[in-house]
Structure 1
Amino acid sequence: MYIIDKKLQERELQGNPIKVGVIGAGEMAKGLINQICRYTPGMQVVAVYNRTCSKAENALLKAGVDSFKVTDSEHVFCKLIDNGDTAITNQIDLLLNEPQIDVIVELTGHIEFGLKNIIKAFKKGKHVVSFNAELEATFGPYLKQKAQEHNVMYTLGDGDQPGVTQNLYRHVKMMGFEPLICGNIKGLQDHYRNPTTQQGFAKQWGMTPEMVTSFADGTKISFEQAVTANATNMCVTQRGMVGPNFKGHIDEMTTGFYPDIDKLKELGGIVDYVVGASPGPGVFIHATTEDPLSAKYLKYGKLGEGPLYSFYVPYHLLFFELAFSIARLIDFKDITLDAEFGMKVEVVAVAKENMKPGDRIDGLGGYKTYGICDNSSSARNDNLLPMGLAEACTIKKPLKKDELLTLDDVEFDNNILFDIYMNQLNTPN
């Protein structure tokens, strides 16, 4: 990060900021706008798209910005940026077409909307930073391929668990160690939480009940760990991951919770999570080394006897760290993470309640389904329904609570997304 801050300070002195266009004005977007406008030299939010422009206005005002204007005119939009002001619009193509914007940041959390507009951005020659793990887990290989085809850069951003895990993964590998477990630390998991049970917590934090539900019911962590697997060439040991409950420190989990080290090596490493461990809500990597000198000094450094050693980050800082990924991408061509190894792990849909023919599946964090991880080979062998495609599908036969949904159980509302999903499974890495 120390290279990044110097480069941004240099840009600030030169009057040459990275010009950022933001898609969305929800909680994460508000945080990023505040972070850039108040605390990040050499970077400027020049445009914000949101369906409801008043939300974008409010985000800018909270960030101390008052030189902005709402417009649906291309000429006015461009002029505002020319003058160093911020343009707000509910016309997405104005933002995507603007040649002065260096990078688009997608923060909506919606899969279909995010996919459509990121692909549009690529076609317009725009680099993209996404903060949408659900989209990346569902269409990551396709996004990587399309970015390459259009000669632009794409990355999932820092600050959420996958980005923090990938930073730690690279750090551990740079020291010569072999990561064998990439883990996520959760405080709670209950597959049957729904928007009604989570309404109070959501209101407290200004989030939607559906978003909070996806955190609690295991869907979000499944998307996050699938993203990590696809970036590291790892897998899961079993459908749904192991997910042990443990109240101690993550350092104490190097033995007794996962397969032995030979099996972990044979698998190429695994992704998983633990509920209740400290330090939460962080991420961890358990790695090994075959170098006796390294093992000696890891012991000296109080990391234990091995053969697994515990490394962790005790937090993930959301939008506070997202600007780092923007700067890394634009100034250093450094991708925080993408689906480098294709679709290794998928997120598949499970019935949250009994369903009958004619029922429509609601969205992520809803009443009807929750998502779990599965190795892609296993998911395709059993013809399972990807969680990222489940929304708005119509149920064709009776399903019981906790039953895995298959492609034969549903009628798709959007066959185009299904075709893209299936075709990317054969995309070369």
Structure 2
Amino acid sequence: MNLYRMLRQRAEAGRPVTVGLIGAGKFGTMFLAQARQTPGLHVLGVADMNPTSAHGALGEAGFAADRRARDFGTALHQGTTAVVEDADSLIAADGLDVVVEATGNPAAGIRHARACVRHGRHLVNVNVEADALCGPLLAQEFARAGLVYSLAYGDQPAIICELVDWARTSGLPVVAAGKGTKYLESFHRSTPDTVWDLYGIAREAAERAGMNAQMFNSFIDGTKSGIEMAAVANAADLGVPPDGLAFPPCSVDDLAHVLRPPEVGGRLHRAGQVEVVSSLERDGRKIDRDLRWGVYVTFAAPSDYTRECFREYGLVTDVSGTYSALYRPYHLIGLELGVSVASAALRREPTGAPAAFNGDVVAVAKRDLKAGERLDGEGGYCVWGRLMPASDSLAAGALPIGLAHGLTLRQDVPQGAVVPRAAVELDPEDGAVAARAEMERAFAPRQAAQ
């Protein structure tokens, strides 16, 4: 609880934590807006393939034009911010402490992470797509180098991990952990053409705001939920339901009732797993007091005495009084990211990091796919990403969603079927493909802790 004090000390000493941002999209812009308000943080540089976007993000976040530099040396000594196209030059810049990777591109994320290891930079990985593809391997490489690899606070996985850690540190067995979302089964077939109606945003407003339809579609079609829950399962050592996420409808008041073990009437596959709850009933009716934007953990009283304490202190429980929940109704995305940056630089501690390979996210056909079609990846027209136990994914030879972009099918795949790796030709020399293969060799899936 002393990160702010530590940042103030660095500011007073004239040694702010220096940060480099890769990817000037919405998440990055939100971080920039708050970094400018935080003593002890200095945004040394922003890297984006489109420098105009980077300058636009800085302007929107309140960075005056005269506070931008042409090179990193000037930025370091004058307390200004440089803008570049080349992320590698930012990672290599003298005096840089922490890199924030916010591209959302798994291949780029892996490449940038390994560059951070080479140059001795801590990494806050907003790129949960890269984390789901081979995060355990990357975290291991950072640990061996004495560096921090961290999930991004403000994004839901890191906040869920914080709740899990709170429960376990308090001696409360974790029964389930996850988040809320807007879900109906038909959403799995959503495409960038249908996303705005399902998301509840006017198409014209989305276009004016520069929102990326394919990226937002990954939230609606279930892919992002799978990716984020894989990150949580791997970081918090939780189990993954064998049939994928069930998305049970649930209000915040019913968390302890719905998200409890099946032997006592709950909707879980077993205790100690991830799950996502829906803000909609299956017939489309909106649930009162839903958790669409929030996160939760359910936990059990390990003794009669603890159960009595639950009752005495007014916890909302299931009918038995044994199971309860703690939830947070909102997450602030990039506005909270400074917590991860400060924790990595000042405490040398991540706000969540993968340590096991429990969960994987695989490509599933949105419609009947024909040989010769080209897959367009997460949030596109062809496939969505389903969460699976990693052991099941590997046994089935499933294609990870993080690799399902730009590949041509060699065989038909029916709607609803998992796309097999044999249906595409993967280039073993490709960096992301090679890193994934390396991770699979290094991390044999095992049973998650209860």
- Same-fold status (TM-score > 0.5): yes
Distance 1:261-1:159 versus aligned 2 partners, 3 A rule? farther
Q: Greater shift after overlay, 24-33 or 148-157?
A: 148-157
Matched residue, 1:210 = 214
What pairs up with 1:99-114 in 2 under 5 angstroms? Answer: 99-114=94-109
What is the CA-CA distance between 1:379 and the residue it aligns to? 1.1
CA distance in 2, matches of 1:420, 1:18: 30
Distance in structure 1 (CA, Å) of the matches to 2:87 and 2:329? 37
Return the TM-score normalized by structure 2: 0.88
> Which whole-Å deviations, capped at 9, do the CAs of 1:23-81 have from their partners, x for residues lacking one?
111111111111101x211111111111111111112222222234464xxxx431232
- Given the superposition, is the C-alpha separation of residues 256 and 77 from structure 1 closer, same or farther in structure 2, using an over 3 Å criterion? closer
Match of 2:447 in 1: none
Give per-residue Cα distances to partners, 1:97-133, cap 9 Å, x unaligned.
1121111111111110111011111101111111111
Amino acid of the structure 1 residue aligned with 2:211: M
- The answer to whether 1:259 aligns with 2:259 is no
Q: State the secondary structure of the residue aligned to 1:284.
A: strand
1:145 to 137, 140, 155: 140
Q: Which runs of 5+ in 2 are unaligned?
A: 197-202, 280-286, 445-450
Q: TM-score, normalised by structure 1?
A: 0.92
Three-state SS of the structure 2 residue aligned to 1:385 is coil
Cross-structure match for 1:294: 306
Q: C-alpha separation between the residues in 2 aligned to 1:268 and 1:257?
A: 7
Say whether residues 1:232 and 2:232 are aligned partners. Answer: no
Change (3 A) 1:420 1:268: farther
* Paired-residue identity, %: 28
Instruction: Give the secondary structure class of the aligned counterpart of 2:188.
Output: coil
**Would the aligned equivalents of 1:250 and 1:284 in 2 still touch at CA under 8 Å?**
no
- Point out 4+ residue stretches in structure 1 off by more than 4 angstroms: 255-258, 261-268
- Report the CA distance shift for 1:403/1:128 in structure 2 as closer, same or farther (over 3 A): same
CA distance in 1, matches of 2:259, 2:44: 52
**Structure 2 equivalent of residue 243 of structure 1:** 247
SS at match of 2:124: strand
In structure 2, which of residues 350, 372, 384 is the aligned counterpart of residue 335 of structure 1?
Answer: 350
Q: Deviations over 1:247-267 (max 9, x none)?
A: x33435425875236999996
The answer as to 2:350 corresponding to 1:350 is: no
Q: For the residues of structure 2 that align with 1:402 and 1:202, how far apart are their CA atoms?
A: 29
Aligned length, in residue pairs: 421
Check conservation: 1:70, 1:89, Cα contact below 8 A: no
Q: Is the 8 A contact 1:239 1:372 kept in 2?
A: no
Question: C-alpha separation between the residues in 2 aligned to 1:300 and 1:232?
Answer: 30
Q: Which moved more, 1:194-203 or 1:260-269?
A: 260-269
Partner of 1:41: 39
Residues 137/350 of structure 1: CA separation in 2 closer, same or farther (3 Å cut): same
Query: 1:48 and 1:256 mapped to 2: Cα distance?
Result: 42
Residue of structure 1 equivalent to 2:373: 359
- Offset of residue 403 of structure 1: 1.3
1:286 Cα shift? 0.9
Q: Is the 8 A contact 1:392 1:412 kept in 2?
A: no
Structure 1 counterpart of 2:26: 27
Determine the C-alpha separation between the residues in 2 that align with 1:124 and 1:22. Answer: 15
* Structure 1 residue 399 corresponds to structure 2 residue 413: yes
Tell me, in whole angstroms, the C-alpha distance in 1 between the residues paired with 2:170 and 2:239: 23
Letter of the aligned partner of 1:209 in structure 2?
A
